[in-house]
């Protein structure tokens, strides 16, 4: 599906991506640029947003960044207003900003930590998605656009995280289905359930995991089995190799009949399972 500007699947598309300065969000933004789109990247770190723009090279005229927190109603509405001012419309919303719980099981979190981490993780992973849609849906109705949510294998199966992350992604799965119903027929709502990727995904600050990066976990082989197609198939844990489904779902010409759908991009976990066995080692 790789294309160059001028011949891509997303010519004249304007997309807003939350959490788009790093990880899968950045990879999607770069892929959308390859496919001819203009992108608005929302994030909290001004320096990382600047790095993302620099990485866009000669396509930077099609990139706009907004420093914003997805937990803020005001910030999200400002992000949409900036999008319309800069590019004149919005075709695609990619709710993507999120944090992971680093497989913190129920037996490893006491009540106080559990409560604090729940509030933080759900505020970003679930409320952040909902507030992005709240700010964007009116503009998406105008363009008969689409929403493409970043989900996870944890939205479908256990052991993609601990109970907090898994519950948050199941909540987003429910949100996707409800919004696909409510916004039809004007706006399509779909998702991509990504498997484990080598990104800078962080954990909740409330339990001391904000400085921990999943990329370092991959380096220590803590995520063995994240993609069952590895190492023999031509697969990878590079975020760029997870982006094609986002392009498909954002393309009105190629997915006009698709809504309420989740595309798993996880190496076939449903067929082969996780390499790590279930167990009660913490009990």
Q: What's the pLDDT score for residue 93?
A: 98
Q: For residue 277, what pLDDT band results from cuts at 50, 70 and 90?
A: very low
Fold category of 14-268 in CATH: Rossmann fold (3.40.50)
CA dist., res. 189 & res. 76, Å (int): 19
The residue ranges of every structural domain in the chain are 14-268
Share of the chain above pLDDT 90, in %: 65
| pLDDT tens track for 23-33 | 999 999 999 99
Which of the following is catalytic: 102, 129, 165, 246? Answer: 165
pTM reported for the whole predicted model: 0.88
Q: Range with the lowest mean pLDDT among 4-8, 61-65, 73-77, 85-89? A: 4-8
| pLDDT tens track for 124-136 | 999 999 999 999 9
Contacting residues for 79 by C-beta, under 8 A, at least 6 apart: 16, 40, 42, 66, 68, 135
| pLDDT tens track for 94-126 | 999 998 888 888 888 888 988 999 999 999 999
Q: For residue 152, what pLDDT band results from cuts at 50, 70 and 90?
A: very high
Whether 165 sits among the annotated catalytic residues: the reply is yes
- DSSP result, 24-85: HHHHHHHHHHHTT-EEEEEES-HHHHHHHHHHTGGGGGGEEEEE--TT-HHHHHHHHHHHHH
């Amino acid at each position: 599906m790789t294309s160059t500007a001028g011949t891509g699947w997303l010519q004249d598309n304007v997309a807003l991506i939350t959490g788009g300065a790093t990880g899968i969000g950045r990879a999607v933004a770069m892929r959308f640029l390859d496919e001819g789109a203009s992108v608005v990247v929302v994030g909290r770190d001004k320096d990382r947003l600047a790095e993302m723009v620099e990485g866009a090279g000669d396509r930077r005229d099609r990139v706009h960044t907004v420093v914003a927190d997805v937990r803020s109603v005001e910030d999200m509405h400002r992000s949409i207003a900036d999008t319309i001012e800069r590019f004149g419309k919005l075709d695609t919303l990619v709710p993507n900003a999120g944090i992971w719980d680093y497989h913190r099981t129920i037996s490893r979190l006491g009540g106080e930590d559990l409560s604090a981490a729940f509030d933080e993780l759900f505020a970003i992973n679930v409320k952040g998605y909902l507030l992005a849609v709240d700010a964007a849906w009116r503009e998406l109705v105008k363009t008969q656009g689409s929403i493409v949510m970043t989900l996870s294998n944890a939205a479908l199966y256990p052991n993609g995280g601990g109970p907090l992350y898994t519950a948050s992604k199941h909540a987003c799965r429910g949100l996707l289905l409800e919004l696909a119903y409510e916004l039809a027929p004007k706006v399509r709502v779909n998702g991509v359930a990504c498997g484990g990727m080598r990104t800078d995904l962080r954990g909740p600050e409330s339990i001391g995991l904000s400085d921990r990066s999943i990329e370092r976990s991959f380096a220590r082989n803590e995520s063995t089995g994240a993609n069952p197609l590895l190492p023999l198939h031509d697969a990878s844990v590079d975020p760029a190799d997870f982006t094609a489904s986002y392009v498909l779902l954002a393309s009105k010409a190629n997915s006009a009949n698709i809504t309420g759908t989740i595309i798993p991009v996880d190496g076939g976990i449903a067929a082969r399972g996780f390499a790590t066995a279930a167990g009660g080692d913490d009990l």
